[in-house]
Structure 1
Amino acid sequence: MSASPTKKTIDLNAEIRGEEIFARYDSQVVSRLWAYIRPHRWALVAVVFTVALFTIVQVLIPVTVRYAVDSAVGNAQYAFNTILAVFASLIVLNAVSNFFQEWVAARLAQRVIFDLRRAMFNHLQHVSLSILDQTQVGRLMSRLQGDVNSLQEFMETSVSAVGDFFLLIGIVAVLLLMDVKLGLLTLCVLPMMFLVRKIWLPWARKAFTRAREASSSVNAALAENINGIRTVQENRREIVNFARYDVRAIENLQAQIGSSRASQVMMPTVDTLTGLAMAIVVVVGGSQVVSGQLDVGVMVAFIFCVQRFFDPIRTLTMQYTVMQRAMASGHRIFEVLDIEVTLSDKADAQALADVPPAIEFNHVTFGYRPDQPVLHDLNLHIQPYQTVALVGPTGSGKTSIAALIHRFYDVWDGEVKVGGQDVRDLTLDSLGQCVGMVLQEPFLFSGTIADNMRYGLQWATREQVIEAAKAVRAHDFIMRLPDGYDTMLGQRGRNLSIGQRQLLSFARALLAKPKILILDEATANIDSFTELEIQRALNVLRKGRTTIIIAHRLATIRDADVIVVLQKGRIVEKGSHDELLKNKGLYAKLHASSNASFDDLVEAEGEQVPNS
């Protein structure tokens, strides 16, 4: 036996530590994000143009004010009406360019995020089940939603941040061009601003981190209790759960207040520094105006520039935090996209030929965890159109056999053949069309009953849908529903009984017309009356197909052509019901006992039940 595979994996379940919520600028993340921006380069060009136009207009407005004031007091060579017309045009252009800057930037961000979401969804559709089996859905959804939203926020605000950066440069240039000495004197407050920012940033980062962690905690508690509401009400845990949630909610409230406080600290700081700069302009500039050293228009333009100067600084400071959060989010998003797709079509993969659906397991060894095999050197040959039952205690490898036939996983050693061909040499699409599965707990999607039945054969006609429903005795209960086949199903079909959901899954399998049908504990959770209906449906489903039935209870597999008894990943018995009874082995012991399943029998005999 070869060593079990050891692949480099990514822990999608890992908690996001506080220091990971904010990350430094990461050129690799930006480079990979650029790959999604590049297809929309013309939109990016439009963004750059509108940002440049808006920035230029913002700089020209104070300059125009200068000439307007000088003209009004008779110190300018330009006519006041002309300057006023230019000023009015700039105001209109400012509003228009600001609108288009925000609109085009938002459209670009939405398109890039749309492509990114599609890429993540498409990638996860093909990721190996061996990864998803070990991944908490909540953690994965956090990456698909929260981290993508953080990246979207960064993209939408970074455009205006770039504009603010160039606006700062433009304002500094205007101040120095109008009057170097007054300009330098006004800008002397900048070191104070940078000192405040240096002190504020670490404190604010801790506040934002705490708020993010508290928000995640309270959302996780809310989701868990809503998903488990039946169990909550069954055990009357409402008061206890509310008390526990209240603690997290209070922590979240305090954290969010702290975050808001950190955000708001910069506003009075900037206002104070703005007032100080204004005071310098008024006092120094006013004295120069009185002495005739400075035009009135220049001083007024200085006041306008100072008012606009500190807003971009405040915005850029907050944008730095957004950028840090986006870098961490981008890293986690691309971590998902980097998950290796271990199961894919080979370069020379062929579609499964139209041959009798035989199944072969030749010396198969397989497991889910390294060095913990579930199947040991297993050999099993199933003839076309046979009905084969797999029985045995929990962990004996029954479901693993079914998963390998569908190639949800690849074997460690040996080979699995369908129709005489190794499943690794077949295209996944053709194999999926050949193999149909009905699970213990059927999964129904949001949509109508007819849509759910067509899930495996989208182009099926209404007549074919009704024919399949009648064949498995589902038509009558469907017609009793308010809208018949157009009845909308709730989440996972919760507005139907489990027996009705199971009948729909049988109809879906029948409509898809698979050559191989796998029934994995399909009657385990239903009552005896419904089981009788499903047994009749099974008789219809099994006709003209190779059928594999996985079951604990013997009542569902007595008439199987071959019954395979598994224990600890090995075949211990094989034969018909009557043959196995004559052998007086494990199967006969179960049949002769009053136990309901192999699990009961194994526990009764004191044997260890293997885990998988």
Structure 2
Amino acid sequence: MTNQFSIVGAFIGSNKRRVLACFFLDFAANLFTLLIPLLTAQAVALLFGHSSGRFEVIMDAGLSLPHSFSFLVIVFGLALVTRAVLDYWKKKQRGMLSEDFIFELRRDIFHRHLRLDPGQYTSKGAGRYLLRFSGDMGSVQQFLSKGILQFSADVSLLVAGLALIWWLNVWLGWVVAGWLAVMALLFWWLNRKVGRIEKLRRSRKSTALDFVNRRLSNIQTLQALNRQGMENARFRRRAEQLRRLGYRYSHMAAIQEALFPLVIYGLIGVVLIFGWQGGATRLDPSSLFAVLMILLAWRPVLQRLLRVGLIWKKGSLSLYHIARVFQQPLEQVAADAVPVIHPPKTLIFNNLKLNQQTLEFSLATGETVWVGLAEEAERQTLLRYLSRLESPEKGQLFFDEANVLQLDLKDYRRYITLASPTFPLYGATLGEALAGSSSREASEKAALQLTVWKSLFPSLQPLHMDTPLNETASNLTPAQHGLLLLLRSLLTGKPFLVLDHPFKHLDPSAKANVRGILEQAQHKRALLLIESDMEAATTDNLNKKIKIRQLK
């Protein structure tokens, strides 16, 4: 089962070399980060006529190297340039790795959303899932880049620096380690409190987002019933809860920010006191200066390390919610689904029960069948059965001799399409909605057909391929929407077309043109017309060339 740890673990496992390269670059950069304070201390020692035996070991390393100040400056310059190059590459690699992680996660989440059982959105609303693409992604990206990669680099630098201080003076090493341990416990306790507040904040934000999504999705009902004042009051209460939690979060965050200087400068003070009262363990001036330089280099490292608990908490919460998306049920698909090898020629309704109606007929290429269903619930049920959003409770559907429930879901949908307001047009523009593909060929085909249809239907003349579409195509008139749904279904080229009220909202001239289009379409396709008006699709009202069977 997918969980928050397996998501990150799977990505790291598939990118082992890149992750190891990041660790290597961080380790090399840390070595030069520690070398620079030592070189600086030695330069100061040379300026004041003092040198340390330990620095002599570092400078010689078994080689005959000059000990002049000019040589030290050259080494110092090379160390700075090398560290700059390593910093560039490690940050670039870390950034690219985290961006790839988010790219793959976004792709997988969207792919998963498209396969979820539609009932998930019906019961919970889309707003429950929108946060996965906003705040959660930022927290998850920081979890990988700062909570794992940067944290590993910072720990290695802290350990290496502590080892160097131990090498310079064992007792001072224990003092520094003790101080860091005490501060780590203090910030662990603070991070736990901040983490609990953050968890509440995220829950409240998610609830507020769902609240707004539900209200805006039903804005017409809200306005018609004059509920603006009531809904404003409800939202203010939720916003007030968020503000109070924000105050608590700011309070704890301010305490942490105020304590950060205490950690590093308090540690510097401890080192200075140790150097002053060290007695037999007192540091020589160059070693003391090197330790102080190491502590100053630690300043950003300690800030990140003491904050990492909150990054882990935020990232863990986000990954938990994302993992729950991967645990939600998918569309019902038979475990032993059979692929559709040959294009089906017949759609068979075998005692398909729709409330009061039972459908028993077959639909073959070259035929048009009209099903008269007066009840909206029956029409919607039939559409959901034919789109396989639901499975029939009683009765069966067959493609030739194969039960459609045993067929591969994608294969089944490759051969049947539906033109119904239940499945409205969607896309940023009308061209995108009609083409159904980003290919140039599909766009050109859709543009050509739209031009032809605009000459047949005056109501479509104001529209063009770049016409923007609102959600559920609400900026189109019912007549425009119905015609464009029919056009979209024809452009798919699928052999079975299900048309829900294709003549609704049309004037007599438009109806006549639709009849002509259906007459041409049925030569290569099978048409199923769903109507509630018993006279809307009779043989006389259509065209006698269209083969039509009425089922009452």
Q: TM-score, normalised by structure 1?
A: 0.75
1:50 aligns with 2:25: yes
1:37 aligns with 2:12: yes
Of 144, 169, 177, the match for 1:155: 144
- Given that 1:218 and 1:252 are in contact with CA atoms closer than 8 Å, whether structure 2 keeps it comes out as no
Deviations 1:394-427 (A, max 9, x none): 44x4333333334334445653112343224544
Q: Which amino acid in structure 2 is aligned with residue 386 of structure 1?
A: T
Decide whether aligned partners of structure 1 residues 472 and 541 sit closer, same or farther in structure 2, where only a CA change above 3 A counts. Answer: farther
Report how many residues are paired.
Answer: 524
Q: Post-superposition shift, 1:285?
A: 0.6
Q: Post-superposition shift, 1:534?
A: 5.1
Q: Distance in 2 between matches of 1:475 and 1:100?
A: 61
Superposed, 1:157-196 pairs within 5 Å as 157=146, 158-196=148-186
1:321 aligns with 2:341: no
Deviations 1:550-585 (A, max 9, x none): 344444345599xxxxxxxxxxxxx958xx6xxxxx
Superposed, 1:61-210 pairs within 5 Å as 61-76=36-51, 78-157=67-146, 158-210=148-200
Q: Distance in 1 between matches of 2:373 and 2:39?
A: 88
Which residue is equivalent to 1:391? 373
1:439 aligns with 2:420: yes
Query: Which moved further from structure 2: 277-286 or 406-415?
Result: 406-415
1:307 aligns with 2:296: yes
Of 471, 479, 503, the match for 1:499: 479
SS in 2 for 1:74: coil
Q: Post-superposition shift, 1:62?
A: 2.3
Q: Which amino acid in structure 2 is aligned with residue 258 of structure 1?
A: R
Which residue is equivalent to 1:4? none
Q: Which amino acid in structure 2 is aligned with residue 118 of structure 1?
A: R
- Given that 2:482 and 2:502 are in contact with CA atoms closer than 8 Å, whether structure 1 keeps it comes out as yes
Decide whether aligned partners of structure 1 residues 442 and 503 sit closer, same or farther in structure 2, where only a CA change above 3 A counts. Answer: farther
Which residue is equivalent to 1:343? 333
SS in 2 for 1:499: helix
Q: Post-superposition shift, 1:470?
A: 3.8
Q: Distance in 2 between matches of 1:213 and 1:348?
A: 43
Query: Which moved further from structure 2: 293-302 or 342-351?
Result: 342-351
Decide whether aligned partners of structure 1 residues 132 and 188 sit closer, same or farther in structure 2, where only a CA change above 3 A counts. Answer: closer
Q: TM-score, normalised by structure 2?
A: 0.82
1:450 aligns with 2:431: yes
Query: Which moved further from structure 2: 209-218 or 504-513?
Result: 209-218
Decide whether aligned partners of structure 1 residues 535 and 322 sit closer, same or farther in structure 2, where only a CA change above 3 A counts. Answer: farther
Which residue is equivalent to 1:273? 263
SS in 1 for 2:424: coil
Q: Distance in 1 between matches of 2:281 and 2:432?
A: 83
Q: Distance in 1 between matches of 2:432 and 2:141?
A: 33
Q: Post-superposition shift, 1:60?
A: 2.0
SS in 2 for 1:485: coil
Q: Post-superposition shift, 1:176?
A: 0.8
What stretches of structure 2 of length at least 5 have no aligned partner?
A: 57-66, 542-548
Which residue is equivalent to 1:401? 382
Deviations 1:566-606 (A, max 9, x none): xxxxxxxxx958xx6xxxxxxxxxxxxxxxxxxxxxxxxxx
Which residue is equivalent to 1:480? 462
Decide whether aligned partners of structure 1 residues 334 and 293 sit closer, same or farther in structure 2, where only a CA change above 3 A counts. Answer: closer
Q: Which amino acid in structure 2 is aligned with residue 187 of structure 1?
A: A
Q: Which amino acid in structure 1 is aligned with residue 19 of structure 2?
A: L
Q: Post-superposition shift, 1:501?
A: 1.8
- Given that 2:41 and 2:289 are in contact with CA atoms closer than 8 Å, whether structure 1 keeps it comes out as yes
1:254 aligns with 2:244: yes
Q: Post-superposition shift, 1:39?
A: 3.8
- Given that 2:397 and 2:403 are in contact with CA atoms closer than 8 Å, whether structure 1 keeps it comes out as yes
Q: Distance in 2 between matches of 1:219 and 1:377?
A: 41
- Given that 1:472 and 1:536 are in contact with CA atoms closer than 8 Å, whether structure 2 keeps it comes out as no
SS in 1 for 2:49: coil
Decide whether aligned partners of structure 1 residues 188 and 511 sit closer, same or farther in structure 2, where only a CA change above 3 A counts. Answer: closer
Deviations 1:270-307 (A, max 9, x none): 32233332222222313559x99431111112222233
Which residue is equivalent to 1:595? none
Which residue is equivalent to 1:295? 284
Decide whether aligned partners of structure 1 residues 421 and 539 sit closer, same or farther in structure 2, where only a CA change above 3 A counts. Answer: farther
Q: Which amino acid in structure 2 is aligned with residue 142 of structure 1?
A: L
Q: Distance in 2 between matches of 1:513 and 1:554?
A: 29
Q: Which amino acid in structure 2 is aligned with residue 514 of structure 1?
A: K
Decide whether aligned partners of structure 1 residues 454 and 294 sit closer, same or farther in structure 2, where only a CA change above 3 A counts. Answer: closer
Cα RMSD after superposing both structures: 3.6
Q: Post-superposition shift, 1:183?
A: 2.6
Q: Which amino acid in structure 2 is aligned with residue 280 of structure 1?
A: V
SS in 2 for 1:330: helix
Of 355, 360, 364, the match for 1:380: 360
1:520 aligns with 2:500: yes
Decide whether aligned partners of structure 1 residues 251 and 185 sit closer, same or farther in structure 2, where only a CA change above 3 A counts. Answer: same
Identity %: 17
Q: Post-superposition shift, 1:142?
A: 2.4
SS in 2 for 1:513: coil
Superposed, 1:217-228 pairs within 5 Å as 217-228=207-218
Decide whether aligned partners of structure 1 residues 193 and 86 sit closer, same or farther in structure 2, where only a CA change above 3 A counts. Answer: same
Q: Post-superposition shift, 1:107?
A: 0.9
Which residue is equivalent to 2:61? none
Query: Which moved further from structure 2: 317-326 or 484-493?
Result: 484-493
Q: Distance in 2 between matches of 1:448 and 1:410?
A: 33
Query: Which moved further from structure 2: 330-339 or 114-123?
Result: 330-339
1:60 aligns with 2:38: no
Q: Post-superposition shift, 1:391?
A: 1.2
Decide whether aligned partners of structure 1 residues 327 and 402 sit closer, same or farther in structure 2, where only a CA change above 3 A counts. Answer: same
Q: Distance in 1 between matches of 2:172 and 2:81?
A: 30
SS in 1 for 2:201: helix
Q: Which amino acid in structure 2 is aligned with residue 315 of structure 1?
A: R
